[in-house]
Structure 1
Amino acid sequence: MDEAKWYVVHTYSGYENKVKVDIEKTVVNRNLEDQILEVVVPLETVVEVKNGSKKSAQKKMFPGYVLINMVMNDDSWYVVRNTRGVTGFVGPGSKPVPLTPTEIKALGIALPGSENENKPVVKFDGKVGDQVMILTGAWEDTVGEITGINEGKQCLTINVEMFGRETPVEIGFTDVKLM
């Protein structure tokens, strides 16, 4: 028996969860649990900060795609390829190509056997030049102007007044509210 690998399957947009459920049902019905091990629709928790209030929601990381951990053979390929809503495997021509561990890590998905953590992503609705009030820490209740937004680190650079002059301070998205 070959080793199971992660493959990417393209689906019609909006059909990801239906494809996942249909494949899982077919696996049970055809007794293929040892060939198709797991079907995943990668989700990320997105936290939006609007006027100081936080709202979190689950969003698909890759709309139109499903990840499948499977042993590639004729039976497993046939089941996945002929599931309603599946348009094909990702790879050149009709040949499915498994994801490498490096690719899985780069995608930032927490899959079994990967070292990625599933951290929530925070979205901030402010822009450079907006005034914000700092809600926590040493700068609590201080008002400053946004001079930079770093989505990767999920923080802002804010100019605050200290000793009579403007000083840049880095602070997290969730530690401020727009004025």
Structure 2
Amino acid sequence: MKNKKWYIIKIKNGEEINIINRIKYNLLKINKLKYIKYIFIPTKKYINIKNGKKIIYKKKILPSYMFINIYLNKYIFLILKKIKGIFGFLNERYKNLPLNINKNELKKIIDINNNNNNNNYKIGDNVIINSGIFNNINGKIEKINNNNVILSINFLGKKTNLKLNINNINKY
């Protein structure tokens, strides 16, 4: 297939799955589905533990934006622009095809998409433990190492350090 590039499409928030289906359906109708390589909505995975049960949920990191790897010509561009829920392309130029995003920008977004919660925390943050025998105990982050944190907690009147997985804490 011809050279496929990454583009960012501005879409209606909350309609992501429907818009993906509409894109695929409209391109399938004209036998151009092979022009698409990949479509994704950048999300970040969060893990929360409530009542001893692990709940995994995703949150959009760029609401109202969709990333698409596609071979884009004027014909495909016009078809996509007419789909209900698509407001246009980022870097769209008057009467021309939009500018594609470069691989470095895309890599940053994908890294955010694949990263865990550790970007939300920094040393000195006050947090609450959300699971285990120390559930609902407050602590302060002393050190962050990959997916683990060292917390300083007050336990039985003494300052104690505790090593936990980053998924076992929440900011408060």
**Is structure 2 residue 41 aligned with structure 1 residue 48?**
no
Identify the residue that residue 139 of structure 2 maps to in structure 1: 146
Find the counterpart in structure 1 of residue 152 from structure 2: 159
Decide whether aligned partners of structure 1 residues 175 and 82 sit closer, same or farther in structure 2, where only a CA change above 3 A counts: closer
Structure 1 residue aligned with 2:110: 108
Is residue 170 of structure 2 the alignment partner of residue 172 of structure 1?
no
> How far apart in 1 are the matches of 2:51 and 2:143?
19
**Residue of structure 2 equivalent to 1:84:** 84
Structure 1 equivalent of residue 73 of structure 2: 73
1:77-130 deviations in Å (ceiling 9; x for gaps): 111111111110001544412121111110125xxxxxx984554889xx7275
Question: In structure 2, how many angstroms separate the alpha carbons of the residues matched to 1:142 and 1:85?
Answer: 46
Counterpart AA for 1:30:
I
Tell me, in whole angstroms, the C-alpha distance in 2 between the residues paired with 1:12 and 1:133.
Answer: 34
Distance 2:101 2:9 in 1: 11
Q: Are 1:36 and 1:71, in contact at CA under 8 Å, matched by a contact in 2?
A: yes
Matched, 1:25 2:22: no
Please give the TM-score of this superposition, normalised by the length of structure 1.
0.68
CA distance in 2, matches of 1:71, 1:18: 21
| Count of residues paired in the alignment | 162
Is the CA contact (8 Å cut-off) linking 1:160 and 1:166 kept in structure 2? yes
**Is the 2:144–2:150 Cα contact (8 Å) retained in structure 1?**
no
Distance, in Å, in 1 between the alignment partners of 2:159 and 2:84 is 60
SS of alignment partner, residue 33 of structure 2 = coil
Please identify which structure carries the higher helix content: 2
TM-score by length of 2: 0.70
**RMSD value, Cα:** 3.9
Structure 2 runs not aligned, ≥5 long: none
Taking a change above 3 Å as real, the CA distance of residues 151 and 84 of structure 1, as seen in their structure-2 partners, is: farther
- Which consecutive residues of structure 1, in runs of 5 or more, have no partner in the other structure? 110-115, 136-140
